[in-house]
Structure 1
Amino acid sequence: MRANQLITILVLNALGLALFFSWYLPENHGAWFTLDKNLFYWFNERLATNKALLWLVAITNFRPFDAVSLLAMGALYYSFWRRETPQGRRRLLAIGIAMLLTAVVLNQLGHLIPVSHPSPTKYFPDVHHVTTLTGIPTKDASSDSFPGDHGMMLMIFASFMLRYFGVRAFLIAVGIVLIFATPRIMIGAHWFTDVAVGSLSVVLVGTSWWLITPGSDWLVNILYRALPGKYKPAN
C-alpha cells in the first residue's frame, strides 16, 4: 500500500469518526437533533394535507418498491456487463458477490455501534403514520433505526462503483442513493442522521480499509478463480 493510499484512508476515517462523534457526544445530539426534528415535522405535517406527497411517500416506502432500487442498481451494473467479454463478465460477477458480502459484513458491524433508538414516528407522540392515512402497509416506523440499513447498502454500492467503474458511475450511484434513501426519511422511518451520520460514517470508515487497500481485489480474485463456469481459469 502506497503512502498516498494510507493518507486517503486516514482522512476518510477521520471524517467518518468526526461525523459520528459530532452527533454522538453532544447532549441530546445537539444541533443534529434540532435538524432531525425540524425535517421530520416538515414532512409529517404535510402528509395530512398534501395528497400528492402522501401517496408519493406511501408508494416509495411500500416494501415491493425496494425492488425498484435493485433494478436501478442492476441497470447501472448491466451497462458495464453488456460491454464486457465473457472473462470480463465473470470478473463483474465476482465484484458483485464481493459487494454483497461487504454489505452484509458492514451492516452487521454497523449494528455493533452502542446506539439504539426508535424512528421519529415512534419517538414523537401524536404524529401522522402513512400506513394509517393510506391503508398501505408501508415502512413508516422502526424500533431501532440507527444506522440506516437501506442507506448503507446504497452507499456501499456507490463506493464499489467508484472503486471499479470510475467517477461517472459513482455520480450516477450517488443519485440512486439520494432517490431511494430519502423516502425513508420523508416517511419518518428514519431520522435524517440515521443515514447522513450513521450510514455514512460506517461506510467512510469500513469501505476505505476494504476498497483502497488490496482487500477487495484479493476477494474478487479468489471468487474469479473459484466460481464455476465455462470460463473458469485453469489455475
Structure 2
Amino acid sequence: MLKKHLPLILLLNVTGIVLYLSWHLPAGHGAWFTLDKDIFFWFNDRLTSNKPLLWTIAITNFRAFDVVSLLAMGGLYYSYWRQQTAQGRRRMFAIGITMLITAVVLNQLGHLLPDSRPSPTKFFAHVNHAAELTGIPAKDSSADSFPGDHGMMLIIFACFMWRYFGLRAFAISAVIVLVFGLPRLMIGAHWFSDIAVGSMSVVLVCLSWWLLTPASDWLLKLVYRYQPYKFQTTNDH
C-alpha cells in the first residue's frame, strides 16, 4: 500500500509544505493577509445592515450549535452503520475511535507550528461583534486562532469518510465541512487562512501518511480487537 501511494503521499506533503510556507515566509503573510482582510470585512461590514445575516451568523456560532454539526456527522455515519452486519458495525466502531484519536493527535500537532495570532475581531480595532449586537454568547473571537481546530476536525472527518466509505460519503462530508466551517469565518473567529493554510497544511502532510499507508488500519485493527465486549459479536469468539 505504501509503495502504491508513495508518489501521491509525497505530492500531498510538498503541497502542504508549500502552502504553509507561502503564508509563513512573506512579511505580514503577504497576499494571504489581503485575502483574509477582504473576506473578514466583507462579512463584518454587513453585520449592522443585514439583520438576517447577523442573526444567522450569531446563532450558528453559538456553542450549543456545535451539537448540530455533531448530529450531521453522526447522521451520515449512522446511515452507513445501518447497512452493516454486526461484524461490520464492530468495525465501524473501531473506525470511529481511530478517527477520534487521529483528530486529537493532529490538533495537538497543529498547535506545535511556530505561529500564533488573534482572530480578526481581536486584531482589528472598532469592528462589529455579533455577540454584542445580538446578545447571543456566540464565539466571535479567539486569542489564538491559528490553525483552525474546528475546521481541522471537520476536514479529518471528511477524509476518513473518503478513505473508508468512498467518494459519495466524502462528497456529503465536504458539504458538512462547508456548512459548519464557514460560520467561524463569517463571524470573524477565524481568518480564512487559519483553515485554508493552517488546517489544510497539517492535514495534507500528516493525514496522507496516516490514511494512505497501513498506519490507520493498524490502529483500527487494534481497537477492533480490544474494544469492549458489548461491541463484539458472537462470531468473534
Answering whether residue 224 of structure 2 is matched by residue 228 of structure 1, we say no
Look up the match of 2:60: 60
Q: What letter is aligned with 2:13? A: N
Look up the match of 1:175: 175
What is the total number of aligned residue pairs between the two structures? 234
Q: Conserved in 1, the CA contact under 8 Å of 2:131 and 2:137?
A: yes
Q: Percent identity between the aligned chains?
A: 66
- TM-score, L = length of structure 1: 0.98
Look up the match of 1:129: 129
Q: What letter is aligned with 1:117? A: R
Q: Conserved in 1, the CA contact under 8 Å of 2:36 and 2:193?
A: yes
Answering whether residue 87 of structure 2 is matched by residue 87 of structure 1, we say yes
Report runs of 4+ in structure 1 exceeding 6 Å deviation: none
- Give me the CA root mean square deviation: 0.9
The worse-fitting range, judged by mean Cα deviation, of 74-83 and 3-12 is 3-12
Mapped to 1, the partners of 2:150 and 2:2 lie a distance apart of 33
* 1:191-213 superposed Cα distances (whole Å, 9 cap, x missing partner): 00001110011111111010011
Per-residue deviation, 1:4: 3.0
Per-residue deviation, 1:7: 0.7
Per-residue deviation, 1:221: 0.4
Q: Conserved in 1, the CA contact under 8 Å of 2:2 and 2:213?
A: no
Look up the match of 1:108: 108
Answering whether residue 26 of structure 2 is matched by residue 26 of structure 1, we say yes
Measured at CA, do residues 116 and 46 of structure 1 come closer, stay the same or move farther in structure 2, by a change above 3 Å? same
Structure 2 residue runs without a partner (length 5+): none
SS of 1:213's partner is: coil
Structure 1 residue runs without a partner (length 5+): none
Per-residue deviation, 1:2: 4.2
Answering whether residue 189 of structure 2 is matched by residue 189 of structure 1, we say yes
Q: Conserved in 1, the CA contact under 8 Å of 2:2 and 2:214?
A: no
Per-residue deviation, 1:228: 2.0
SS of 1:83's partner is: coil
Q: Conserved in 1, the CA contact under 8 Å of 2:2 and 2:212?
A: no
Mapped to 2, the partners of 1:231 and 1:222 lie a distance apart of 16
